Chains A and B, each alone.
Chain A
Amino acid sequence: MPGEIYHIRQGKDGSYPADGPPRRLATIVAADIAGYSRLMTIDEEGTHARVMRLRRELIEPTIAEHHGRFVKSTGDGFLAMFESPVEAVRCAIIIQQSMVGRNAALPRENWIQYRIGVNLGDVIVEPDDVYGDGVNIATRLEGIAQPGDLYISGGVYEQIKHKLVCGYQSLGDRQVKNITDPISVYRVLPDPAAVIKARPMPGLAVAVVLSVSVIASAAAATATWYFFVWQPKHLAALSEHAPAQTPNSTKPTSVAVPQTVPLTKPETRSSSATAPATPQVAITSPAQPSPIIEPEMVTLPGGKFAMGSNDDPSEKPIHQVDVKPFAISKFPITVHQWNQCVAANACANKATGKDDAPVTNVSWGDTQKFIEWISRITQKEYRLPSEAEWEYAARGGMQTKYWWGDQRLPGMANCNGCNEAYDATQPTKVGSFKPNPFGLYDMGGGVDQWVTDCWHKNYQGAPVDGSAWLDVDCSSHVIRSGSWKNDPSYVRPASRDHYDTNVRYPTHGFRVAQSL
């Protein structure tokens, strides 16, 4: 009889059936932005616009794609509902990972980081909202999650543990506000290998870190925030030492831009390639017996340049870009530097090869792990260069085909056909060829180098302010430089190519940059 059927989704004026509003089992995703009020203090309108844009470009489409429903915005966050716990967690992982990419090009104080909680429970569904313990628990999980983290309840874990290949770190049973029974909490780690390194930090250590940093730091507010956001996942010992360190002890070498052309006689050859003998910061920690070899950075003044060329369709149209001052590493990251990250359990795959050879076989995703680690350990904000920054740096102030002119010359770069001698099996150590006018080595040839940008097949619509060109969904990132296995046309500073974001290939490496 038709009268017995009522609409599950009721209008505002719709009447409920006799037994009350519709209840159902649902997976609730609750998210909020860590430090939202701080972001609003820095830039109210800008932050609001960014959050709205995120919602439009990332949050809502990702939820829809996973068959979820965007229930409501909570000012600095949102509430979403899913039929399936697997889809809910997948959606949350994608949002968190997309945020890593989106933040990568920004200075850290402008990062937007979500904390996300996921719970499976019985809820009351209204047209514009959901209610019930099921929702409250999701919100509490979100509340205890670290920025950038995803916490799920035991119920969700049981449903997804054999279906989603992730790491799950049990955080034990937690008593949460206004919920009688303790909730078992799991932290989702997209990389299963990360489970080993992740250890919950004792409450005492948190207190120590916080007090030390408050006392030590003159810029109390910001610094404390850095600490809170960046330290808790890591060894307490390191954190305690960190404030004592002088982060500015490693002043990057400054380089003047040759405005016209002249090749300012650069250092002839770097004898010791990894070589940053001066900029070392000793960090005492049982896990890291050797001092961390920080990347040697070169500061570049900003400026306008013509990006692109007519040599390949992907390099068109040539367009004017105005790059802000930034610093970029003098050499690609070496095997030795990479393996220090591996030794700290922060990077996954141990690199093979000589210590002063550039690291290879790293995916774009791998580079983010390294950057997170080196930023944390040095208390400096490293990132990948943007594509525009990379080309600006590679050109060294020149608009010619190569940084040294329009003709190929031996001894300038490591590629297949660049020089008489050629070793196909491995790249030469970093700094084996002449530096460009900015004093940068291996900008062209050697190893392919990942940059922040998502791949776009040409420059139609590219940003002109030197920032990275990002998308919501980025399955392929830009690589620059060409490798020792490519022909000389890849050595050109304008040459560009791309590769799957999370796939490793034996000629792919990277160098790091810093905003100033």
Chain B
Amino acid sequence: MLIRRTAFLAVVLTLLPIATQAQNTPAPKDAYLYFVWPQDGMKIKSPFWCRFGLRNMGVTHAGDNFANSGHHHLLIDVNAPLDPNEPIPQDKNHLHFGAGQTEAHIELPPGKHTLQLVLGDAGHYPFKPPVLSQKITVTIK
């Protein structure tokens, strides 16, 4: 259902006018990005639903330039610091949720993993200041 809904959202939202290549998009100071689930230190089974929380900002589709809104990126086992002047990378450790998803079905091998959320602007750049969640550690049973 969720997938269908997001798919539909993707279809509809791409129809909106688009302007990308934004940089240094301002974010409100009180923006707060966090994991609804799982939480730091949890021992969980894989696959699991990872749920993203965001306060004082809105979630929108990548490509949309609405003020105070962005889209989620989930960083898995990423140690490199975030480059504020580059789009958030896209690879197997940087998952993108540009259709406005607020949760994801994640499959990870057993062991310890770090998870961190980063909010991206219309052009996938981090905001200024960057809107980041706490980096949490989970153990997959």
Real complex partners, A and B? Answer: yes
By a beta-carbon cutoff of 8 Å, the part of chain A in contact with chain B is: 65, 90, 93-94, 97, 164-167, 190-193, 312, 348-349, 352, 361, 363, 365, 424, 448, 457, 473-475, 483, 485-487, 490, 497, 499-507
B18 touches A499 (CB 8 A): no
Known: A457-B107, A503-B62, A503-B96. 14 other contacts (CB 8 A): A94-B8, A165-B16, A190-B11, A365-B14, A448-B90, A473-B3, A475-B99, A490-B91, A499-B96, A503-B14, A504-B63, A506-B123, A506-B124, A507-B90
Determine the distance from Cα of A29 to Cα of B4 in the docked complex, in whole angstroms. Answer: 21
24 pairs, A vs B, C-beta closer than 8 Å: A94-B8, A164-B12, A165-B12, A190-B11, A192-B15, A349-B18, A448-B90, A473-B3, A474-B7, A475-B7, A475-B99, A485-B89, A486-B91, A497-B91, A500-B62, A500-B98, A501-B7, A502-B14, A503-B98, A505-B62, A505-B96, A505-B124, A506-B87, A506-B123
Determine the distance from Cα of A210 to Cα of B63 in the docked complex, in whole angstroms. Answer: 41
- Pick the most buried of B3, B12, B96: most chain A CB atoms within 10 A of its CB: B12
The answer, among A191, A192, A475, A490, for a CB contact under 8 Å with B10, is: A475
A90 touches B63 (CB 8 A): no
Given A349-B18, A361-B20, A475-B3, are A503 and B11 neighbors across the interface (CB < 8 Å)? Answer: no
B21: A residues at CB distance < 8 A: 352
- Pick the most buried of B97, B107, B124: most chain A CB atoms within 10 A of its CB: B124
Determine the distance from Cα of A169 to Cα of B115 in the docked complex, in whole angstroms. Answer: 47
Closest to A90 in B: B8
B63: A residues at CB distance < 8 A: 503-504
Is B92 part of the binding interface, using a Cβ–Cβ cutoff of 8 Å?
Answer: yes
Closest to B123 in A: A506
Determine the distance from Cα of A493 to Cα of B78 in the docked complex, in whole angstroms. Answer: 24
By a beta-carbon cutoff of 8 Å, the part of chain B in contact with chain A is: 3-4, 6-8, 10-18, 20-21, 61-63, 86-87, 89-92, 96-99, 107, 123-124
The answer, among B15, B61, B89, B91, for a CB contact under 8 Å with A503, is: B61
B107: A residues at CB distance < 8 A: 457
Top 9 A-B pairs, shortest CB-CB distance: A503-B98, A475-B7, A502-B14, A502-B10, A500-B99, A503-B62, A500-B98, A165-B15, A506-B87
A363 touches B90 (CB 8 A): no
A504 touches B4 (CB 8 A): no
A474: B residues at CB distance < 8 A: 7
Determine the distance from Cα of A485 to Cα of B18 in the docked complex, in whole angstroms. Answer: 24
B4 touches A191 (CB 8 A): no
Closest to A497 in B: B92
B14 touches A363 (CB 8 A): yes
CB distance from A266 to the nearest CB of B (A): 29
Determine the distance from Cα of A473 to Cα of B61 in the docked complex, in whole angstroms. Answer: 19
Closest to A167 in B: B15
- Pick the most buried of B8, B16, B21, B91: most chain A CB atoms within 10 A of its CB: B91
Determine the distance from Cα of A325 to Cα of B12 in the docked complex, in whole angstroms. Answer: 37
A499 touches B90 (CB 8 A): yes
- Pick the most buried of B6, B87, B92: most chain A CB atoms within 10 A of its CB: B92
A348: B residues at CB distance < 8 A: 18
Closest to A312 in B: B92
Determine the distance from Cα of A473 to Cα of B6 in the docked complex, in whole angstroms. Answer: 10
Closest to B16 in A: A165
Given A497-B92, A505-B124, are A166 and B18 neighbors across the interface (CB < 8 Å)? Answer: no
A504: B residues at CB distance < 8 A: 18, 20, 62-63
Closest to B90 in A: A505
CB distance from B63 to the nearest CB of A (A): 6
Closest to B91 in A: A486
CB distance from B77 to the nearest CB of A (A): 14
A65 touches B4 (CB 8 A): yes
CB distance from B115 to the nearest CB of A (A): 18
CB distance from B83 to the nearest CB of A (A): 9
Determine the distance from Cα of A500 to Cα of B63 in the docked complex, in whole angstroms. Answer: 12
Closest to A166 in B: B15
Determine the distance from Cα of A348 to Cα of B89 in the docked complex, in whole angstroms. Answer: 24
The answer, among B3, B13, B90, for a CB contact under 8 Å with A502, is: B13
B99 touches A191 (CB 8 A): no
CB distance from B74 to the nearest CB of A (A): 13
A93: B residues at CB distance < 8 A: 11
Determine the distance from Cα of A65 to Cα of B8 in the docked complex, in whole angstroms. Answer: 11
A501 touches B10 (CB 8 A): yes
B12: A residues at CB distance < 8 A: 164-165
Closest to A349 in B: B18
Closest to A164 in B: B12
Given A94-B11, A505-B96, A505-B124, are A475 and B6 neighbors across the interface (CB < 8 Å)? Answer: yes
Determine the distance from Cα of A487 to Cα of B86 in the docked complex, in whole angstroms. Answer: 16
B15 touches A190 (CB 8 A): yes
Determine the distance from Cα of A365 to Cα of B10 in the docked complex, in whole angstroms. Answer: 10
B87: A residues at CB distance < 8 A: 505-506
Determine the distance from Cα of A383 to Cα of B4 in the docked complex, in whole angstroms. Answer: 25
Determine the distance from Cα of A209 to Cα of B13 in the docked complex, in whole angstroms. Answer: 36
B4: A residues at CB distance < 8 A: 65, 473
Given A166-B15, A191-B15, A490-B91, are A503 and B7 neighbors across the interface (CB < 8 Å)? Answer: no
Determine the distance from Cα of A504 to Cα of B62 in the docked complex, in whole angstroms. Answer: 7
Determine the distance from Cα of A424 to Cα of B85 in the docked complex, in whole angstroms. Answer: 12
CB distance from B5 to the nearest CB of A (A): 9
CB distance from A425 to the nearest CB of B (A): 9
Determine the distance from Cα of A82 to Cα of B10 in the docked complex, in whole angstroms. Answer: 23
CB distance from B17 to the nearest CB of A (A): 7
CB distance from A225 to the nearest CB of B (A): 29
B16: A residues at CB distance < 8 A: 165, 192
Given A94-B11, A165-B12, A361-B20, are A502 and B99 neighbors across the interface (CB < 8 Å)? Answer: yes
A457: B residues at CB distance < 8 A: 107
CB distance from A491 to the nearest CB of B (A): 12
